[in-house]
């Protein structure tokens, strides 16, 4: 959500820190917070004024009208405050329907004043601007300030002046106080804007001859502006509404949500309740809560929450395990039910999210059975059939009763089943498999004639024109009635290839002549071409680095679809609106601050541009155009008949619920003519009425469906439009969020705008008003489809709609990647790997999560054991590997590998090139003797040769013994690296048979020449064979295979790379120039016949 309430202490802290006014603001930062854990001695040390002044004490827990409720202690000394707190602190209190414990209190200095010095001040945001309310009589008896306060609206992007305040608000204030109050109000308004407040109320505001005092304050800030205001806000704590505890599980999910691009929400209502929900989608989550409450489950509803926005399998698992953990802590005599519901997803891979839920169910299967939990599942969307299958399978394997339903079942039908109000079908009918979108498998025989003709074959008429109509100078430009046509072209901002391909597949199945996407804009790459499919054919789509180039080269484009992030959406939208060719912009991003959205709305209104969003999936016009991921994948496009127009137009806030409306309308009528999801924010770019009036003026639309929700008053404009005769087409409407009035404490639903600030904004009030105005309003969402069908049948009966013969759409091939995910095809993989898996939430080395690698302090040797040998090696083996890497790390600049690296570095080459130059010298003569030594000594030892026989055979064959001999070291000048390794191996290895054999060979070779010692390569080679053969982790064949495939040389390569990199960095640091070998170190020997 966006607007979140903050504590009075936080609000006053912001005010005292950042207000800029000439008025003297008194008692700055003079407040003390008290809880059950407060140390009074420490508190009085930190706030010595507590001992000397008269005080006021009150709870700071988002409680309204504390004075009326007797929850303010006034004009007390410190002892009096402590006695007052004894009666209230940690005591359970009932306020309205909410029952809670008073835990947090605020102590402030008492301000002596008269009633005439009390004032009321409030600033709050609306779509058009910010309203400033002022009343010259403040305090607990202020009454209905809406009716009697002076008010002034500051329009979006305008400023408030002291003259305006004095003239409009301070008419009943004495002259001597006007100056200070005007300055304070202007300063407060600037603070309100700068810190992204959405609501700020001070009552009373006391103005005396000493200055201004803020006695009581309530405020909300736009939490989505955190990325802008973090330096001033700091870490803001958002307390729960009174009557609800702040649970650690809620904080855990909030933290997951903050770290994820998806949306994860959880509010605990009654942890002892028997009805738990795990619902996908902000709108759907409200609908399920409504239905549970409508069917009498409000007292047993345990939680409200949602997961949406394509969370990963791991994120869904974390969310699901939190819910399962909560619901299996306390048994219920009637058992418990878990409702895993959701609308038809637009782009979330249902199977992936369900796999996360299935993992959680498997982990909690024992407590779930102990608590007699029954699970009901209903879902649709991409790959939902596979998701439902795995969910059904886990029910069979665990023995947990799980009832699974797809799109053939009404979305909320499972609630009635779970609560015992409707029977559970034994074998529910299943819709066609996702794979069927390859076929022309439509079972419907009819489609509307008039709309099909208008959309497909009639020439474009004036009502179908694209540009906004010209208006008189000085007036805002009129917006287009028709947003999308058969030839609409769009630019997509963002590298959203999946969404673009979905749009092109929709275009193809709608028989469009050309793709609807003309180009993409992506500032983070250079101009290039991106490959997409148009039916069976591959095509290239231009991608531009900047918007200006895209607009200039594609003048036919009139729609921008913005997938920009919440941080960049504002700037990119402002830029797009500078181009007159654009008349529609869809903003997908969720979490744009409301103040910025209002600026976009104002600009769009001035330019005659229609904005869809923010926080939306978009919209769809069957047969013509779809925005991004709207409508889901092709199987849903075909199942909901979205490839051709119907007679019903709808508008919804929720993106997921808009797809559910596609499903409902296709099953009860001839289909959708156009549908728009305006977005869940408080201030959507276009409103319900903007689109309803378009539908009213569109000939092909015969009836209108609206899915409203709690919060705002937009639905009342529908009532007004009907009363004034502006709306004449039948309207079916249902406002979701009816459950809100049944909850004891305030619950913020998934959408930012789904919150009622007054009685008229509740869903119940709006549904009744719509019903009274003549709108077709069902009794509940459960009956929405029935009402739509009734109205449609009446229109068919009276001849308004004439069904026509269905024409099958062209086939579209399924993407290979999706077909493979569905298990429809198989193909040998190009690569196979068995050492590492990076696909999940956590990197895995040979089956071991990276967190366990660090937790068990496996070190570099342990990691090498996992990645090279796919084994968890003993501690001594890991240590030996690390020792080998240390002793082979470097052997000076004179050896060939280091020499090459240095020469390359001095030639100005980069690190990788220089390192590679050195590594290429490694072979039998330099550094690569580990494998060869291991093979030679192993073969001789395994064949039963005596050491002397081995030496003689190698001499007879004219071969060098690999690993024997050193250019510098000898029996008299031993290599300390070998000595260190030998001491460790002898102490820790269970057996050293091959090493002992090699040492016996060394005795023979050094008797002939002192430098024919077992060198470090040979030692590591034979010792490693002993390690592989005797550590207990490998069979003899496996040990020999690792030697054969070159694993031991890897030790030298890895170790020596450290030294080569060191030499490279050393040369760069010393700034050495290009190397040229000196002449006097080269013997020039020319052929004799040439020297004559």
Active site residues: 751
Looking at the chain, how many residues does it have?
1092
What are the φ/ψ torsions at residue 718 (nearest 5 degrees)?
-65, -45
d(CA 186, CA 207) in angstroms, rounded, equals 15
Angle separating helix axes 929-942 and 1036-1044, nearest 10 degrees: 140
d(CA 1017, CA 665) in angstroms, rounded, equals 76
d(CA 119, CA 849) in angstroms, rounded, equals 62
Q: For residue 591, give the 3-state DSSP assignment.
A: coil
Q: How is residue 158 annotated by DSSP? A: -
442-470 burial, b at 16+ Cβ within 10 Å, e below that, comes to beeeebbebbbebbeeeeeeeebebebee
d(CA 124, CA 202) in angstroms, rounded, equals 12
Rounded to 10 degrees, the C-alpha dihedral 383/384/387/393 comes to -120
Cis geometry, peptide bond prior to residue 614 (ω within 30 degrees of 0):
yes
d(CA 328, CA 366) in angstroms, rounded, equals 10
d(CA 875, CA 871) in angstroms, rounded, equals 12
Q: Give, in degrees to the nearest 5, the angle at Cα 267 between 263 and 268.
A: 145
d(CA 721, CA 714) in angstroms, rounded, equals 11
d(CA 210, CA 25) in angstroms, rounded, equals 9
The stretches of 888-968 forming alpha helices (DSSP H) are 896-906, 911-919, 929-942, 947-957
Candidates 3, 1, 2, 9; CA nearest to 218 is 9
d(CA 588, CA 586) in angstroms, rounded, equals 6
Q: How is residue 524 annotated by DSSP? A: T
Give the bridge partners for 705, in sequence order.
650, 732
**Measured over all CA atoms, what is the biggest interatomic distance in the chain, rounded to whole angstroms?**
123
Q: For residue 93, give the 3-state DSSP assignment.
A: strand
Cis geometry, peptide bond prior to residue 204 (ω within 30 degrees of 0):
yes
Query: Are the CB atoms for 648 and 448 separated by under 8 Å?
Result: no
**Six-digit token pair at 315?**
């994120």
**Six-digit token pair at 180?**
């200070």
d(CA 751, CA 655) in angstroms, rounded, equals 11
> How far is residue 443 from each of residues 437, 508, 609, 808, measured CA to CA in Å?
13, 20, 40, 10
Give the Cβ contact number of residue 803 at 10 Å. Answer: 16
Q: For residue 455, give the 3-state DSSP assignment.
A: helix
Residues 6+ apart with CB under 8 A from 264: 253, 256, 257, 305, 306, 307, 311, 315, 319
Residues 6+ apart with CB under 8 A from 639: 407, 431, 432, 663, 666
Euclidean distance between the first and the last CA atom of the chain, given in angstroms as a whole number? 94
d(CA 419, CA 275) in angstroms, rounded, equals 9
Q: Is 277 exposed, middle or buried (0-12, 13-18, 19+ CB in 10 A)?
A: buried
């Amino acid at each position: 959500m966006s607007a979140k309430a903050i504590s009075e202490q936080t609000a006053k802290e912001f005010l005292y820190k950042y207000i800029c006014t000439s008025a003297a603001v008194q008692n700055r930062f003079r407040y003390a917070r008290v809880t059950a854990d407060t140390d009074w001695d420490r508190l009085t040390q930190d706030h010595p004024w507590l001992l000397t002044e008269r005080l006021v004490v009150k709870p700071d827990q988002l409680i309204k009208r504390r004075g009326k409720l007797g929850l303010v202690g006034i004009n007390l000394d410190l002892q009096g405050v402590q006695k007052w707190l004894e009666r209230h602190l940690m005591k359970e209190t009932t306020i309205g329907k909410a029952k809670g414990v008073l835990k947090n209190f605020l102590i402030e200095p008492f301000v002596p004043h008269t009633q005439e010095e009390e004032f009321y001040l409030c600033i709050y945001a609306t779509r058009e601007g910010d309203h400033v309310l002022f009343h010259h009589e403040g305090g607990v008896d202020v009454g209905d300030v809406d009716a009697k306060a002076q008010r002034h609206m500051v329009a979006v992007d305008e400023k408030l002046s002291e003259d305006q305040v004095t003239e409009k608000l301070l008419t009943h204030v004495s002259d001597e106080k006007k100056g200070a109050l005007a300055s304070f109000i202007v300063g407060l308004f600037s603070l309100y804007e700068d810190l992204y407040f959405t609501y700020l109320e001070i009552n009373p505001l006391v103005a005396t001859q000493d200055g201004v005092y803020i006695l009581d304050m309530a405020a909300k800030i736009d939490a989505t502006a955190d990325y802008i205001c973090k330096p001033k806000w700091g870490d803001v704590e958002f307390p729960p509404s009174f009557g609800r505890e702040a649970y650690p599980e809620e904080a855990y999910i909030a933290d997951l949500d903050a770290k994820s691009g998806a949306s994860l929400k959880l509010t605990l209502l009654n942890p002892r309740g028997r009805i738990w929900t795990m619902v996908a989608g902000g709108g759907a989550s409200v609908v399920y809560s409504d239905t549970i409450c409508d069917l009498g489950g409000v007292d047993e509803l345990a939680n409200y929450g949602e997961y949406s926005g394509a969370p990963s399998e791991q994120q869904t698992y974390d969310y699901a395990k939190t819910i399962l953990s909560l619901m299996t802590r306390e048994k219920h005599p009637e058992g418990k039910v878990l409702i895993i519901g959701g609308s038809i997803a637009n782009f979330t891979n249902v199977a992936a999210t369900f796999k996360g839920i299935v993992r959680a169910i498997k982990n909690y299967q024992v407590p779930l059975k102990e608590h007699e939990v029954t699970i009901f599942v209903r879902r649709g969307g991409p790959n939902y059939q596979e998701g439902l299958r795995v969910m059904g399978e886990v029910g069979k394997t665990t023995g947990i009763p799980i009832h699974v339903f797809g799109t053939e079942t009404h979305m909320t039908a499972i609630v009635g089943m779970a609560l015992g109000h409707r029977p559970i079908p034994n074998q529910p009918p299943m819709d066609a498999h996702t794979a069927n979108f390859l076929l022309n498998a439509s079972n419907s025989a009819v489609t509307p004639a008039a709309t099909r003709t208008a959309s497909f074959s009639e020439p474009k008429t004036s009502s179908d024109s694209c540009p906004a109509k010209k208006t008189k100078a000085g007036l805002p430009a009129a917006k287009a009635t028709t947003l999308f046509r058969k030839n609409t072209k769009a630019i997509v901002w963002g590298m959203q290839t999946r969404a673009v391909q979905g749009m092109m597949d929709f275009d193809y199945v709608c028989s469009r002549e050309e793709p609807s996407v003309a180009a993409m804009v992506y500032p983070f790459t250079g101009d290039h071409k991106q490959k997409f499919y148009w039916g069976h054919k591959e095509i290239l789509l231009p991608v531009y680095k900047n918007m200006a180039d895209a607009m200039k080269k594609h003048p036919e484009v009139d729609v921008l679809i913005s997938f920009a992030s919440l941080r960049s959406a504002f700037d990119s939208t402002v830029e797009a609106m500078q181009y007159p060719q654009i008349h529609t912009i869809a903003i997908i991003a969720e979490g744009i601050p409301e103040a910025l959205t209002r600026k976009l709305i104002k600009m769009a209104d001035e330019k005659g541009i229609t904005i869809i969003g923010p926080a939306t999936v978009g919209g769809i016009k069957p047969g013509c155009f779809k925005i991004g991921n709207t409508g889901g994948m092709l199987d849903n496009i075909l199942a909901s008949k979205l490839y051709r127009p119907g007679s019903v137009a709808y508008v919804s806030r929720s993106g997921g619920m808009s797809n559910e409306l596609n499903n409902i309308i296709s099953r009860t009528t001839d289909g959708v003519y156009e549908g728009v999801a305006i977005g869940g924010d408080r201030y959507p770019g276009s409103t319900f009425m903007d689109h309803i009036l378009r539908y009213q003026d569109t000939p092909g639309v015969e009836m209108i469906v609206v899915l409203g929700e709690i919060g705002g008053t937009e639905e009342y404009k529908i009532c007004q439009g009907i009363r004034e005769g502006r709306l004449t087409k039948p309207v079916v409407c249902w406002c979701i969020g009816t459950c809100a009035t049944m909850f004891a404490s305030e619950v913020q639903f998934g959408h930012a705008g789904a919150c009622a600030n007054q009685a008229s904004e509740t869903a119940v009030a709006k549904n009744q008003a719509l019903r009274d105005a003549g709108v077709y309003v069902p009794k509940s969402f459960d009956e929405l489809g029935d009402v739509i069908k009734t109205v449609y049948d009446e229109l068919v009966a009276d001849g308004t709609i004439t069904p026509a013969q269905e024409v099958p759409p062209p086939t579209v091939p399924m993407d290979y990647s999706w077909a493979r995910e569905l298990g429809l095809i198989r193909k040998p993989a190009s690569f196979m790997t068995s050492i590492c898996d990076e696909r999940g939430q956590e990197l895995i080395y040979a089956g071991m999560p990276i967190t366990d690698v660090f937790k068990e302090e496996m070190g570099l040797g342990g990691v090498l054991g996992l990645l090279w040998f796919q084994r968890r090696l003993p501690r001594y083996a890991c240590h030996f590997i690390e020792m080998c890497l240390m002793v082979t790390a470097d052997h000076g600049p004179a050896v060939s590998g280091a020499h090459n690296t240095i020469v390359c570095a001095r030639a100005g080459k980069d690190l990788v090139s220089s390192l590679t130059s050195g590594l290429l010298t490694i072979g039998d003569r330099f550094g690569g003797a580990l494998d060869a030594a291991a093979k030679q000594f192993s073969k001789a030892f395994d064949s039963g040769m005596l050491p002397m026989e081995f030496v003689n055979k190698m001499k007879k064959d004219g071969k060098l013994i690999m690993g024997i001999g050193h250019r510098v070291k000898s029996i008299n000048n031993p290599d300390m690296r070998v000595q260190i390794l030998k001491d460790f191996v002898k102490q820790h290895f269970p057996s050293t048979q091959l090493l002992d054999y090699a040492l016996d060979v060394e005795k023979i070779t050094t008797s002939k020449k002192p430098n024919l010692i077992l060198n470090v390569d040979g030692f590591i080679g034979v010792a490693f064979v002993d390690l592989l053969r005797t550590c207990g982790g490998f069979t003899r064949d496996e040990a020999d295979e690792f030697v054969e495939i070159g694993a031991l040389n890897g030790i030298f390569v890895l170790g020596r790379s450290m030294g080569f990199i060191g030499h490279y960095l050393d040369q760069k640091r010393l700034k050495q120039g290009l190397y040229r070998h000196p002449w006097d170190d080269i013997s020039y020997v020319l052929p004799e016949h040439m020297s004559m």
